[in-house]
Amino acid sequence: MGIDSEFIWFDGELVPFDQANVHVLSHTLHYGLGAFEGIRAYTQPDGTPGIWRLEEHLERFLDSIRMMRLDCAYSMDDLIEACKLVLNKNGFKSAYLRPIAFLGKGALGLGARGNPLHVVIAAWEWGAYMGEDGLKNGVRLRTSTFVRNHPNSTMQRAKVVGHYVNSIMARWEANDDGFDEALMLDQNGFVAEGTGENVFVARNGVVMTPPSLNILPGITRATMLELMKEEGIPCHARLFARDTFYVADEAFMVGTAAEVTPIRSVDRIVLGHNGETAPGPITARLQELYNKAVRGQHPSMTRYITVA
């Protein structure tokens, strides 16, 4: 499964995949100032695709652009229509959508302000981000030596292109050491998140997740909080250190790409009491509910935009 499609939306027009190119002197390519989103569309019961929580994703996209002090020429409505068009014209029933806003060619140098802001929306068919086995049996994490970006070094709530240098350093370190993913700590040593996923940890039926202080506040994280409220599963957003994982009953990571992925071990310490394998009961329940919700099969969760 590659990243191919027939058409990519590029500054308001559908462009054939092979022609959606940029100049090598594009500003963002050099300095990383730009914003992006990751969105998924799932096949709904009527067979058409529905884009899960599209407005929230696009709101964050526009916020990220504003936090970078850039101006987007497209409104929320323009972007909604563009996302629908990309899915329709490519004939996808389910897909990953990638809006990105980046500064093009004009001037280089950090003081350059006048470069055009290009907006692109691509889509492709994407399976499990952490692999099918990870989704089913859980992933192995290691605590990263790379500290999550300080809230005052960049705007942590924004999904900014350049932030992902920090994430990639951590992810590659973890992978080179034989782990699936990194657990990133913040500047004070508290648990922050994965490289592109928020984390949850449970013990004795009570769930904890880092507050939206030192993390990118994910839309999947918000969905989890809603689902837990409905299910009567207590969940607290608070700071905690990595030792919480070492004595946890179960844990999981969430994100649009990762969906609900169980965590099997942290720093080689297998989670759970009896050597039972991930996912634990809370993880399994939330995974089931999430998989239904995004496909339009959860009665109280209807926040998808139909594309037909």
Active site residues: 159
What number of other Cβ atoms are within 10 A of residue 18's Cβ? 9
Q: Does 193 bind ligand PLP (CB under 6 A)?
A: yes
Instruction: State how far the Cα of 161 lies from the Cα of 204, in Å rounded to an integer.
Output: 38
Three-state helix/strand/coil letters over 256-304 = CCCEEEEEEEECCEECCCCCCCCCCHHHHHHHHHHHHHCCCCCCCCCCE
- Dig out the tokens for 202 from the structure: 């449970």
Q: Which residue is nearest to ligand PLP (CB)?
A: 218
Q: How far is the CB of 241 from ligand PLP (least distance, A)?
A: 19
The answer to whether the beta carbons of residues 142 and 179 sit under 8 Å apart is yes
Residue nearer to ligand PLP on the CB measure, 7 or 190: 190
Q: Does 287 bind ligand PLP (CB under 6 A)?
A: no
Among 49, 99, 138, 255, binds ligand PLP (CB under 6 A): 255
Quote the CA–CA distance of 110 and 165 in Å, as a whole number.
18
Least distance CB 99 / ligand PLP (angstroms): 12
Q: Does 250 participate in binding ligand PLP (rule CB under 6 A)? A: no
**Own/partner long-range contacts of 64-69 (Cβ < 8 Å, ≥24 apart):** 64/35, 64/36, 64/37, 64/101, 64/155, 64/157, 64/158, 64/159, 64/160, 65/35, 65/101, 65/117, 67/155, 67/157, 67/158, 67/160, 68/33, 68/34, 68/35, 68/155, 68/158, 68/160
Nearer to ligand PLP, 82 or 97 (CB): 97
H-state helical runs in the chain:
27-31, 54-67, 76-90, 131-137, 164-176, 219-231, 243-246, 281-293
Write the interaction track for ligand PLP spanning residues 146-165; mark x where CB under 6 A is met and - where it is not.
-------------x------
**Minimum gap (Å) between residue 260 Cβ and ligand PLP:** 10
Tokens, residue 83: 């996302």
CB nearer ligand PLP, residue 49 or residue 255: 255
Q: Which token pair is 215?
A: 């993390």
Residue 216 in contact with ligand PLP, rule: CB under 6 A: yes
First to last CA, the chain: 24
Residues listed for the chain: 308
Please tell me whether residue 214 binds ligand PLP under the rule CB under 6 A.
no
Is 210 an interacting residue with respect to ligand PLP (CB under 6 A)?
A: no
The answer to whether residue 209 forms part of the interface with ligand PLP (CB under 6 A) is: no
Q: Is 38 in the site for ligand PLP (CB under 6 A)?
A: yes
C-beta of 115 vs 167, nearer to ligand PLP: 167
Tell me which stretch binds ligand PLP (CB under 6 A): 80-88, 92-100, 214-222, 262-270: 214-222
* 34 lines the binding site for ligand PLP (CB under 6 A): no
Least CB distance to ligand PLP at residue 221 (A): 6
Nearer to ligand PLP, 115 or 148 (CB): 148
Neighbours of 21 (CB within 10 A): 9
Asked if 198 interacts with ligand PLP (CB under 6 A), we say yes
Count residues contacting ligand PLP (CB under 6 A)? 13
Q: Does 249 bind ligand PLP (CB under 6 A)?
A: no
Using the rule CB under 6 A, is 40 a contact of ligand PLP? no
Binding footprint of ligand PLP on the chain (CB under 6 A): 38, 159, 193, 196-198, 216, 218-221, 255-256
